[in-house]
Structure 1
Amino acid sequence: PAHNPAYAAGIRCFAEKLPTVPRVALFETAFYQWMIPAAYNYAIPQAWRDLGIRRYGFHGASHKFVAERSAEMLGNEAVAERVRQLYVDGPGEYEGAPLRVLSCHLGGSSSVTGIKNGVAIGASMGFSPQGGLPQNNRVGDLDSMAIPYVCKMLGLSVEEAERQLNKESGLLGLSGVSNDARDICEAIEAGNENAQLAIDVLIDSIRHWAGSFFFKMGGAEAIVFTAGIGENDADLRAAVCAGLEGFGVQIDPEANAKAIRGAEGVISTPDSSIQVLVIPANEELVIAREVFRKVKAS
């Protein structure tokens, strides 16, 4: 609800003002089109599924860039090329060296995706970007029965409940301070317990989803942090990876501290069996490449 009206308005505007210019839509859900039915179906009645209610996944352009760039950084050119051609040729069969990536897009809007050999196997976001991790002011995962209960107890309409879940929840709702992680971190330094709770809930949710995909893929070769928080909050990255030494994750504190403000790099130690990377998001590049490819092919 926060995105589609603006997108539709933009499409209509360009159609009116530039009618002869090709218009290409690259959907954020495209990266997830090869998930297996068990990964995208909800346990709901058939009539609901017929309406298209399912897990779609979002941030596809960002996670696609992570899939390609992480493969390049780790020297797996076969996976990198598979990702480049994914929207043209589909995944096909893959017989090269494995590359299982836990991709953490953490910003004003956050999600975790499991990527196996360049192809998404699961997404934390669901039918809409509301699902999964807590967002800046969107709730993330919530038991569906909480909504009718709150509507009844507080006398809210469904529309008002939807508004509060979209506008007054997430990091803002938990902290009571701001929907901006930087403001929340400042409040933590001032001793605000609700601000600390907001970050703790975010970290717990990241670990929950990353752990889920770790099990689904049977392990991981890399953990990647991207987007505004993922690229700049070294303390949060360290907290997400804390206690994972038994799984082979070893963070280099010095490298982690330096990987901020757009710096790309490896923040794990040389003896870490799972590589931990920071990759600045570049959704615009993915969009430009795919649009160019589509227009050229047409």
Structure 2
Amino acid sequence: MKILIANIGSTSFKYRLFDMTTEATLAKGGFERVTNYSDAIEKALAEMKASGALPRLEELTAVGFKTVLAKGVLGCAELTEDVLKAMEEMNEVAPSHNPPYIAGIRKFREKLPRTPMVGLFETAWWVNAPEAAKCYAVPQQWTDWGVRPYGFHGASHRYIAERVAKLLGGSDLRVISCHLGGSNSIGATHGARGVGNSLGMSPQSGLPHNNRVGELDAFAIPFLMKTHGLTIDQIVRSMNKEGGLLGISGVSNDVRDIVTAAEQGNTRAKLAMEVFAHSIRHWIGAYLVQLNGADAIVFTAGIGENQPQLREMVCANLDWFGIRLDPAKNAAHQRGQEAVISATDSRAKIMVVSTNEEIVVAREVKKLLESRK
């Protein structure tokens, strides 16, 4: 069983082909600055054919997608036209994510009309979170309209929880996972249950993101409209394109550039990193209370795995909890390495673990297809 996982961004396309009999990766690749998804898909299929990973398209069992949000769809589902329309209904909530995914899925359907297209929605891992974690203090009618926290990055937080359980040899662990990349979130998992996620109704919420605003008081929007004359479209664009770490630093939406600028004395860049760490610590603190402690605090994704300075900022002054980082282990961590970087007497393990969202999606796609036999 060969399953192709397509990861579609607003200007990028990445893929990974799995042999699900062994979960081996047969091929992977990607393209940046994509303006034509049809061409990118053709190139990807040609690469897999040339490498021998996929000699014939008929060998492909399904294409899986790490889809974001659809009205009334929270788990793993075949991406029928009805499901795509349900995604379109939530475009205003996920404007940076849903439109490119929908366009990419439709292009795949044109290229592979007989191959099932299946999406694992990022909200899936949080379906069984406590009801209190899935409710805003709004009128019931708003809730009925879909105004509620959904949580995202579910595949990543699930993978980390399951991987940490294997590494530490436990089945009922309390794991706080810090997915820090272009999009950022903190997740809390207890055993096999997602308990909470810092992302709320939209992927623009929670922590500051690369150029998306993160947490913002809702009344800032009518203030800007009434006092400064901004339109809703202007505000939405600013929140999606000009906010986050870019907005604070004024330097870049790339943490590497911001760290360099901060080291060179740029005060706005320094503030951006401090705000980022402050927000991460805020959510870790919340989940330490929610979980009644933690067995592991885990850093993952591009920033989480590769920024030791940020990990040090986040883990500072947690002595009251009995949580202590080992500065030498933190500084010595090598890219791609799974490691424990906490002190030997730390009550919770502090870890760096690479995420693998694609294999989580592939497993769920396989499970869905097998359930229909």
Question: Which letter maps to 1:263?
Answer: Q
Partner residue of 1:134? 208
Partner residue of 2:273? 199
Partner residue of 1:122? 196
Pairing 1:1-298 to 2, within 5 Å after superposition: 1-76=95-170, 79=171, 98-298=172-372
Q: 1:231·1:262 contact (CA, 8 Å) conserved in 2?
A: yes
Tell me the matched-pair count: 278
What is the CA distance between 1:260 and its match in structure 2?
3.5
Q: Distance in 2 between matches of 1:260 and 1:28?
A: 29
Query: Who wins on radius of gyration, i.e. which is larger?
Result: 2
Deviations 1:72-102 (A, max 9, x none): 11111xx2xxxxxxxxxxxxxxxxxx41111
Q: Distance in 1 between matches of 2:224 and 2:300?
A: 35
**Could you say what the CA RMSD is over the residues aligned between the two structures, in angstroms?**
1.1
Q: Percent identity?
A: 54
Question: Which letter maps to 1:62?
Answer: S
Q: Distance in 2 between matches of 1:150 and 1:261?
A: 43
Question: Which letter maps to 2:365?
Answer: V
Question: Which letter maps to 1:139?
Answer: V
Q: Distance in 2 between matches of 1:164 and 1:273?
A: 42
What is the CA distance between 1:297 and its match in structure 2?
2.6
Counting helix residues as a fraction of each chain, which structure ranks higher? 1
Q: Distance in 2 between matches of 1:170 and 1:36?
A: 29
What is the CA distance between 1:174 and its match in structure 2?
0.1
What is the CA distance between 1:277 and its match in structure 2?
0.7
Q: Distance in 1 between matches of 2:238 and 2:184?
A: 18
Counting strand residues as a fraction of each chain, which structure ranks higher? 2
Question: Normalising to structure 2: TM-score of the pair?
Answer: 0.73
Question: Which letter maps to 2:256?
Answer: R
Secondary structure of 1:235's partner? Answer: helix
Question: Which letter maps to 1:245?
Answer: D
Q: Distance in 1 between matches of 2:121 and 2:192?
A: 18
What is the CA distance between 1:108 and its match in structure 2?
1.1
What is the CA distance between 1:19 and its match in structure 2?
1.7
Q: 1:265·1:278 contact (CA, 8 Å) conserved in 2?
A: yes
Question: Normalising to structure 1: TM-score of the pair?
Answer: 0.91
Q: 1:100·1:219 contact (CA, 8 Å) conserved in 2?
A: yes
Q: Distance in 1 between matches of 2:129 and 2:193?
A: 8
Q: 1:203·1:240 contact (CA, 8 Å) conserved in 2?
A: yes
Q: Distance in 2 between matches of 1:108 and 1:10?
A: 20
